[in-house]
Amino acid sequence: MHLKTTIVAVLLLLPFLLAGTSAFAQSKKQPVPQDTVTYEKKNQPMERFVRSADLEVDGLIVDRTITKIGRDFYDIFHRQWEAPADAHNFTILIEEKPTRSNGAYVVVSVNDEPVFEYQLQPRYDVIEEVANYTVAMVYEYLVTDQLNKQLEAEGKKAREVF
């Protein structure tokens, strides 16, 4: 019984005893004076890295096809594609939507704006012809878009395309 009373007394008094002692891990540290010029010089490589991480990937082609027809279209498009020299920060998305028949509905978007939609037939020569036509359309779209951006930067109004 005497042991139980001693343990209870120690447990009750323990928080009060610990509160009076200072903990070494929580002692206050003096701030280290820093020269801002030296600090900025040391962090210049890090700033360059952060700025370069903000850059986007130029000319990304995303494949979201489902069937062999869509995959053939994507393969031909990707093989024939060559980006315009002045085009930057663009993404081409090739999506395929299922149809009831044995064809495929293909949508090609540039920067989330649909540029071309077509109901493909399961014939390779037709798929090849449509893919080559789509390459030309997307190329023309990017050239026109880049020209419009340059005109807007100069303060001029771009031509309307109907």
How do the domains of the chain map onto residue ranges?
A: 60-153
pLDDT for position 153: 80
| Contact assessment for residue 59 and residue 90, using Cβ atoms and an 8 Å cutoff | yes
**Widest Cα–Cα separation across the chain:** 98
Q: Alpha-carbon distance 70 to 60, whole Å?
A: 18
**Spatial contact of 66 and 96, defined as CB atoms under 8 Å apart:** yes
Q: What is the pLDDT of residue 86?
A: 82
Supply the pTM of this predicted model.
0.62
What is the fold of 60-153?
Double Stranded RNA Binding Domain (3.30.160)
Name the token pair of 19: 């509160």
pLDDT in tens, 84-104: 988 888 999 999 998 888 889
Tens-digit pLDDT profile for residues 112-151: 999 999 999 999 999 999 999 999 999 999 999 888 888 8
pLDDT per position as a tens digit, 49-71: 555 555 556 789 999 999 999 99
pLDDT score recorded for residue 120 = 93
